[in-house]
Amino acid sequence: MKEGRMHSAHLPHLLSMLFLSGATLAAASSIAATPISQVTSAQWDTLNSQVGGRLFQGVPFAKACFPPVTNQTACAEIQQHYTDGTIRYSFASGSTNTEWETCTTNGDQCLLDDTDPTNPLATKLPCKIGSISPYYIDVQEPSDVSAAFNFSLKTGVPLIIHNTGHDYKGRSTAPDSLGLWTHNLKNMSYNPSFVPTGCNGVSPTAAAILGAGVQWGEAYQFADNHNITLVGGSDKGVGAVGGWLQGGGHGVLSNTLGMGVDRVLEFKVVTPDGVFRTVNQCQNQDLFFALRGGGGGTFGVVLEASILAAPPVTLQVTLISWADPSIDITKEFLTILINNTVSLAKAGYGVTATTELALFATPLLDATSAAQAMKPFTDFAQNLIDNKVTGASSVTLTLPSWLEFFNTFILPVQSTNGVPNILGSRLIPTSSFATSDSQAQLLDALMAGVSLNPAKFIILGTTPVNFKPDGKTSVTDAWRTSLWHITTETHWTWNSTLQEKTAAFATAAKTVERLRAITPDAAYSNEADVYEPNHIVAFWGTHYNDLLKVKQKYDPHHLLDCWQCVGWKSQSSRFKCYIPTSSIATPQ
Ligand SMILES: Cc1cc2nc3c(=O)[nH]c(=O)nc-3n(C[C@H](O)[C@H](O)[C@H](O)COP(=O)(O)OP(=O)(O)OC[C@H]3O[C@@H](n4cnc5c(N)ncnc54)[C@H](O)[C@@H]3O)c2cc1C
Ligand SMILES: *[C@@H]1O[C@H](CO)[C@@H](O)[C@H](O)[C@H]1NC(C)=O
Ligand SMILES: *[C@@H]1O[C@H](CO)[C@@H](O)[C@H](O)[C@H]1NC(C)=O
Ligand SMILES: *[C@@H]1O[C@H](CO)[C@@H](O)[C@H](O)[C@H]1NC(C)=O
Ligand SMILES: *[C@@H]1O[C@H](CO)[C@@H](O)[C@H](O)[C@H]1NC(C)=O
Ligand SMILES: *[C@@H]1O[C@H](CO)[C@@H](O)[C@H](O)[C@H]1NC(C)=O
Ligand SMILES: *[C@@H]1O[C@H](CO)[C@@H](O)[C@H](O)[C@H]1NC(C)=O
């Protein structure tokens, strides 16, 4: 990943279709709060001393490349790694989807041209702080967080929690805010016989205890070192304990081993009343429910989570790919995929598919039965190879561990990090695959999107089909009755106009609209349309009222609020950089 941006041909990322969306959330406007600029230096000094001197000023990631350039080495390093994540993670100001570093509504930004980070035109604009926090705390201790809550309550300065900055909905940045940066909470430990605190009588299980700053790439290596498997996502930079876990968490192994929220055994969290709490099935059960799917940035600042470990897995893997995303090939592939999805799901397969590749992995089959299950796909690929389709290939392997699978098949196709990028999401229910009519409808909806260029989608067969849930999570139950989570992707460039950005949001809504029309109201909160209509039902289904009670109990002063989060106050000035929902409305 060191050589800069991945080529789009490699990305498990693509499509966009859609039509519509009468998103009808209230437009963001201001409520009174002390502007951060009026906080006195004595107040900052006091806060700094309460957090062990770990208060620091936010600096835009690319600032070193804007005039006056005083350190050419620092700038060259940023240019070289502008889209590969690694360096960006070490900046509290860094966001993977760079629109959230900017203030979309007024155009303030400090971005390079992600297609050519040396483009001098980008650095001719003034470097503005945008949605980056003017101050951050490098969080180490529970008291760091309670000091921040005290400060926010007293001054009215909004707080944000920034872990890796991977959020697609801008929930880890806000203009004029104080940032709680959890990145350096990197502790990891393994306990082969973990019992949640205070749960006498609960059988011990193997668990990994991960600090809130741990990223999946680190957790996978740690798990392998301890001969265990952890269920995580596809990007090495996403946090294992932050937004991914608290909003759901799906991955290739979720089919058999469940979602992130299914496997968390305990959280350590500071709630907005400043209290450091241990949260599990035996104490603070209401918070445990809320943190298992209610979303990050809402109920408290999690400092650590204990995650159920699985034994090592042997995976049967098939990757087919082709570099010709033509309509005919795409349609043929999707027809086969839709027709085989129910049997693949039963056989434990995690599936990742785009218009140029499909990756299948299951821990349930042996090599012989896997070859049988994959036959429709290996035949399809062989046909492409025989017809000399550009880049056509097919590989089938048995891999002895999740880490080997991840390193071999997932690392080479990591998403680009450092581009203004927005998504749409739809959960596709089992019923869509039940009859030839419903299959045809699904194919039509997908193809409608494919024909909209530049159309990008990823089909993720990562729902918890073969996992028996405990019934105490707060993600929409639609996850339990769906076979696919589909994401669509829309992006813009460093110099797009407000009008172009507004149009991109409308396109993002359109890309899922045909799918919305044929599916229940269900989407993944972490990867959804920023303007998801009816988001309460789509993200949480029947669990919303219970989640709202937890929010009101622990955060009555709204010290933690984020876009389309449980109990959010949409009029808060913290949302002033979001284009108002009313501006995005698209024709029916
Ligand atoms: C390239 C890419 C690939 C992805 N792949 C997957 C995937 O395979 N599976 C999947 O399920 N998702 C995936 N996601 C989506 C991912 O789950 C979300 O982006 C998620 O919000 C990231 O969480 P984070 O903590 O890493 O990021 P951040 O942007 O730092 O935080 C996200 C949200 O969580 C809150 N938060 C963070 N830390 C804490 C904490 N300690 N306590 C309380 N709140 C906290 C933040 O305030 C914010 O609201 C992917 C995203 C990207 C960009
Ligand atoms: C310049 O930046 C490089 C890379 O970030 C850093 O190692 C070096 O210390 C910086 N030099 C000065 C003089 O600040
Ligand atoms: C927060 O404020 C409360 C009440 O004023 C005080 O008791 C507590 O010590 C403060 N916490 C920190 C970490 O400053
Ligand atoms: C991390 O682990 C070290 C060593 O066990 C411990 O001293 C420290 O308190 C831990 N830090 C956090 C934030 O848990
Ligand atoms: C890893 O764990 C498995 C079962 O959990 C066990 O059979 C195997 O011997 C272990 N391997 C090592 C190297 O400890
Ligand atoms: C769907 O799969 C069945 C076998 O499972 C096969 O008989 C049928 O031809 C397939 N239909 C299509 C359209 O591929
Ligand atoms: C953005 O910059 C590119 C050159 O880098 C230029 O071709 C394009 O027209 C610009 N777009 C706008 C909207 O200014």
Ligand 3 centroid from CA 155, angstroms: 14
Ligand 7 centroid from CA 494, angstroms: 9
Atom 8 of ligand 5 has which residue's CA nearest to it?
227
Q: What pLDDT does residue 455 have?
A: 53
Please tell me the number of Cα atoms within 13 Å of 371 on its side-chain side.
4
Give the strand pairing for 205-211 and 264-270: unpaired
Ligand 6 is surrounded, with C-beta below 6 A, by 335-336, 339
Atom 11 of ligand 7 has which residue's CA nearest to it?
495
Q: Ligand 5 pocket check: which of 225, 227, 313, 402 to mutate, most ligand atoms within 8 Å of Cβ?
A: 227
Is the CB of 507 within 6 Å of ligand 1? no
Is the CB of 225 within 6 Å of ligand 5? no
Neighbour-count burial of 38, counting CB atoms closer than 10 A to its CB (0-12 exposed, 13-18 middle, 19+ buried)? exposed
Ligand 3 atom at shortest distance from the alpha carbon of 143: 13
Ligand 3 centroid from CA 275, angstroms: 10
Atom 11 of ligand 4 has which residue's CA nearest to it?
187
Ligand 2 is surrounded, with C-beta below 6 A, by 71, 73-74, 77
Is the CB of 146 within 6 Å of ligand 3? yes
Q: What pLDDT does residue 449 have?
A: 78
Atom 4 of ligand 5 has which residue's CA nearest to it?
311
Is the CB of 497 within 6 Å of ligand 7? yes
Is the CB of 185 within 6 Å of ligand 4? yes
Distances, alpha carbon 264 to alpha carbons 18, 257, 472, 565, in Å: 35, 12, 11, 21
218-231 core/surface letters (b: 16 or more CB in 10 A; e: else): bbbebbbebebbbb
Q: What pLDDT does residue 453 have?
A: 53
Q: Which residues of the chain register pLDDT less than 70?
A: 1-33, 452-455, 586-588
Distance CA 162, CA 389 (A): 44
pLDDT per residue as tens digits for the range 137-158: 999 999 999 999 999 999 999 9
Is the CB of 119 within 6 Å of ligand 3? no
CATH 3.40.462.20 for domain 315-542: yes
424-454 core/surface letters (b: 16 or more CB in 10 A; e: else): bbbbbbbebbeeeebbebbbebbbbbbebee
123-127 contacts: CB < 8 A, separation 24 or more? Answer: 123/65, 123/66, 123/67, 126/66, 127/60, 127/62, 127/63, 127/66
Please tell me the number of Cα atoms within 13 Å of 256 on its side-chain side.
21
161 close to 243: Cβ distance less than 8 angstroms: no
Where do the domains of the chain lie? 3-181, 315-542
Residues 6+ apart with CB under 8 A from 28: 570, 571, 572, 573, 575, 576, 578, 580
Ligand 5 atom at shortest distance from the alpha carbon of 311: 5
Is the CB of 140 within 6 Å of ligand 4? yes
Is the CB of 139 within 6 Å of ligand 4? no
Is the CB of 86 within 6 Å of ligand 3? no
Is the CB of 119 within 6 Å of ligand 7? yes
Is the CB of 312 within 6 Å of ligand 5? yes
Is the CB of 182 within 6 Å of ligand 3? no
Ligand 6 centroid from CA 339, angstroms: 6
Atom 3 of ligand 7 has which residue's CA nearest to it?
495
Distance CA 460, CA 524 (A): 12
Q: Which ligand is nearest to the CA of 192?
A: 5
Ligand 3 centroid from CA 147, angstroms: 6
Ligand 5 centroid from CA 312, angstroms: 7
Nearest to residue 22, comparing CAs of 582, 580, 498, 424?
A: 582
Atom 32 of ligand 1 has which residue's CA nearest to it?
243
Q: Is 47 helix (H, G, I), strand (E, B) or coil?
A: helix
Ligand 5 centroid from CA 311, angstroms: 8
Atom 11 of ligand 3 has which residue's CA nearest to it?
147
Atom 7 of ligand 1 has which residue's CA nearest to it?
233
Give the strand pairing for 159-162 and 178-181: parallel
Is the CB of 50 within 6 Å of ligand 3? yes
Atom 2 of ligand 3 has which residue's CA nearest to it?
150
Q: What pLDDT does residue 34 have?
A: 75
Atom 6 of ligand 3 has which residue's CA nearest to it?
150
Atom 1 of ligand 3 has which residue's CA nearest to it?
150
Is the CB of 430 within 6 Å of ligand 3? no
Is the CB of 165 within 6 Å of ligand 1? yes
pLDDT per residue as tens digits for the range 313-337: 999 999 999 998 889 999 999 999 9
Q: Which ligand is nearest to the CA of 144?
A: 3
Q: What angle do CA 340, 346, 348 make, to 5 degrees?
A: 105
